[in-house]
Amino acid sequence: MAKGPDSREKTIRAAAKLFRQQGYHGTGLQDILKAAGSPRGSLYFHFPGGKEEIGVAAIALYAEAVRAMMAAAAEASETAGRFLALIVQNMAADAERADYKEGCPIAAVALDTLGQSPALGGATRTAFQTWELEIKRGLERFGMKGKHTEAVATAVLSQLEGALLLARTYRSLEPFRHAETAVKGMVDVPHRPSRREHRA
């Protein structure tokens, strides 16, 4: 009985890794089966929706892993700047371990399937929103509040995604170093209230 769930999980993990390396459209079902070491019959048993269903599951798996990393970073930090720096450092270490061959599967699937699959589109939006929310929660943990927190969370996520893309392109950790400086600057510089906030 234990073989079923194990086979399903191996398929999802294999798909997520392949999407990171070669994108959604660049990955075929045969590639996923080979990487997972699973027979074709098990694929359709666990994923009657085929590749799209596997894609949705792979996105959810990776999204939760990154969300958990972000939450752990907040727990391990004493300041907002340290929290954001730790997230960047974790992603940089992951990119280096993979020899710059693995990107973000969420971004890869989003770009490959834009406007083509409501299921995959919804899954990628949910993943990014989950990360933004986790970053926002971390910032609020260190006293940041209001709409400014949401803006910073979106800006941080944009820095992370951009740094990963550039790091792969340049095969260098330098983009992550610049991203770390940038995200720390977003919280180390005190937020100046607008005139409207002053009047309130």
What is the pLDDT, as a whole number, of residue 2?
40
The Cα–Cα gap between 176 and 89 comes to 7
pLDDT of residue 191: 47
* CATH number of the domain to which 93 belongs: 1.10.357.10
Domain membership flag for residue 176: yes
What pLDDT is recorded for position 195? 55
Whether residue 46 is contained in a domain is answered as yes
Within a domain: residue 199?
A: no
Q: Identify the pLDDT of residue 4.
A: 47
> What domain range includes position 79?
3-191
Q: How many domains does one find in the chain?
A: 1
pLDDT of amino acid 189: 57
Q: What's the confidence (pLDDT) of residue 43?
A: 83
Structure tokens at 116: 């083509």
pLDDT per 10-residue tile (average), the chain, 200 residues: 66 96 95 89 88 96 98 97 98 97 96 94 97 97 93 97 97 98 86 51
Kindly state whether residue 54 falls inside one of the protein's structural domains.
Answer: yes
Q: Would you state the pLDDT for residue 6? A: 79
Q: Which two tokens stand for residue 121?
A: 């589109």
- Tell me whether residue 197 is in a domain: no
Indicate whether 196 belongs to any domain: no
The predicted structure's pLDDT at residue 7 = 86
The 10 Å CB-count burial string (b at 16+, else e) for 175-184 is bbeebbebbb
Whether 124 is covered by a domain: the verdict is yes
**pLDDT of the residue at 196:** 55
pTM attached to this predicted model: 0.87
Asked if residue 11 is part of any domain, the answer here is yes
* Residue 120: count of CB within 10 angstroms of its CB: 21
